[in-house]
Amino acid sequence: MIYKVFFQEIKTEVPVRERTKTIYVEAESERDVRTKLAEKKYNIEFIQKLDEAHLEYEKRSENFVLENV
């Protein structure tokens, strides 16, 4: 499954919408996503599981890059 992860790069700062970034991660579950990203020290705001239609839409975006973690 592919998950879209909304995060802030600096864990100690208060989340600010304008600094929110996204990455796409292939994983078995949300817990697996958090485990894979644990060493990156991100402040994860939200993890969204993408269904087929949403994934196809995201793939058309120039920002779609599947992370290798």
- Alpha-carbon span 58 to 53, nearest angstrom: 9
Q: What is the DSSP string of 8-62?
A: ES-TTSPP-GGG-EEEEEE-SSHHHHHHHHGGGT-EEEEEEE--HHHHHHHHTST
Q: 6-58: per-residue pLDDT in tens?
A: 999 988 888 888 999 999 999 999 999 999 999 998 999 999 999 999 999 99
Domains of the chain: 2-67 (3.10.20.730)
- pTM for the model stands at 0.88
> Within a 13 Å sphere around the CA of 14, how many CA atoms are in the beta-carbon half?
0
